[in-house]
Structure 1
Amino acid sequence: MSIENEKIYPDCPTIVRRVEIGGLTKSQLIQKFQEHSILMNEYSKSLFADDNFTTSDLTCSLKTVELTVYDLGFLEGATTDQIFKRASEVGLDMCPLELGPHLRLQYLDQPEGYLGKPSLEHQAPYGSITIASEILTEDEDFPKGFYLRRIDGVLWLRGYVAGPEHVWKPDDHFIFLSNK
């Protein structure tokens, strides 16, 4: 199978969203999660607790593009660095870390992703959407960013850890900013 014959970004199906970010502190975001029964794992709590994760006082609207690793031309999967480099080459930008919590609050009808599928270890779960954002630290044990997931009807904002050798599967979903 040749990559020339495949439809890769921007000539592939994508999900485009407008996401409003800013205007809420980290503690206000957490309060909104509680109001919507959104859960957080320990990794997402660690990201929130880190001083390098900041929120903006000003609100703005960002255009996001959701696509798969495959849509970026990686038919066999790719590392985080490879994915982020290719996204930049095709005109996609990294999201501010703050986008993850705001998108979680605005995307309340995310479908279940894993129904009838096996649980995965050291892989992105079925139905999850990873937010492509700048990594706060190179410490391999510290979370690299957020992903969204719905499990048994419960919405989650989860953090993840992925080392430089980790290979994302071709059908893993990422969200980037559109610079168009």
Structure 2
Amino acid sequence: MYGNEGNKHQPFNSSKIPQLPQPDPPILLSYKEIFAAAENAGLRLCPAETGLQLRLQYMDQPYEETLVIAMQPIPDSDNLPSVFAVCHWDWGIGLSSACCGISDMEDDWHADSDWVFMV
């Protein structure tokens, strides 16, 4: 997948972040911990438009896959920080939001969650 930042096309990377602990059962992580580990691995946050562009380009997304866009969180309607997620579930493919939560925790963000970063 490619996105446009300025006039340069940047490749995007969907990956699990290996520097994060992978205990069994998985622990919950804050988006700040995920972003810090990604930065240490040389990855960068995506512009917010990445969610829309990825949704438009990734029409053959496998069923039950959710890709969380690593971006600077934006306030949702309740003024809570949220990021975009590109998903394919029972209701079809879509672009949704994922709340970072009041305490920076999102209960679906385990160490093995799939995030999209810029490389």
Same fold by TM-score greater than 0.5 = yes
SS at structure 1 position matched to 2:93: strand
Does the aligned pair in 1 maintain the 2:69–2:116 contact within 8 Å? yes
Q: Which amino acid aligns with 1:169?
A: H
User: Whose radius of gyration is greater, 1 or 2?
Assistant: 1
> What's 1:118 paired with?
none
Match of 1:101 among 52, 65, 71: 52
Structure 2, unpaired ranges of 5+: none
Task: Report the TM-score, using the length of structure 1 for normalisation.
Answer: 0.54
More strand by share: 2
> What's 1:144 paired with?
82
Higher relative contact order (CA 8 A, sep 6+): 2
Q: Which amino acid aligns with 2:41?
A: V
Does the aligned pair in 2 maintain the 1:129–1:148 contact within 8 Å? yes
> What's 1:128 paired with?
66
CA displacement 1:21-78 (0-9 Å, x = unmatched): 37xxxxxxxxxxxxxxxxxxxxxxxxxxxxxxxxxxx654211111125x33221342
Task: Report the TM-score, using the length of structure 2 for normalisation.
Answer: 0.79
More helix by share: 1
SS at structure 1 position matched to 2:10: strand
Q: Which amino acid aligns with 2:53?
A: H
> What's 1:166 paired with?
106
Residues 143 and 84 (structure 1 numbering): CA distance in 2 closer, same or farther, change over 3 Å? Answer: same
Q: How many residues are matched?
A: 112
Identity value in percent: 24
